[in-house]
Amino acid sequence: MNTKIIAAVAVPAAATLGLTGCASATASCVVQHGYAIVIFQNGMANNSSRFVTHFRLNVMYESGGVVSRFISSRIVLRTANGGNPPVIVRTYRARDAIGCHVDKVAAHR
């Protein structure tokens, strides 16, 4: 995937997530060029690393259908360095999708 596409999606999503300043791990999702791009971020108030063990990716299609996938993975979310919390980006194939949403994120220390 082109890094410019990821940067164009990740920067606004990271800014949105950074405004929340919440203590827990957050996730955002957007569909671009046939991929569901999922962005994870550790909360600003966290002073230790967290890791995501699993989450549910919901992909929406034009027909009105929604396909849900539970994804198990160990995604490490490092602590914030100053005012810049690290952002982790993962991509998943989602051909012909029009949108996506992430929920049921399980994050642990």
CATH number at residue 24: 2.60.40
The label of the residue with tokens 């949105």 reads 16
Neighbours of 78 (CB within 10 A): 14
Using one digit for the tens of pLDDT, what is the confidence trace for 55-103? 999 999 998 899 999 999 888 888 777 767 778 999 999 999 999 999 9
Distance CA 41, CA 29 (A): 12
Question: Model's pTM, two decimal places?
Answer: 0.70
Number of domains in the chain: 1
Residue-range definition of the domain harbouring residue 28: 3-108
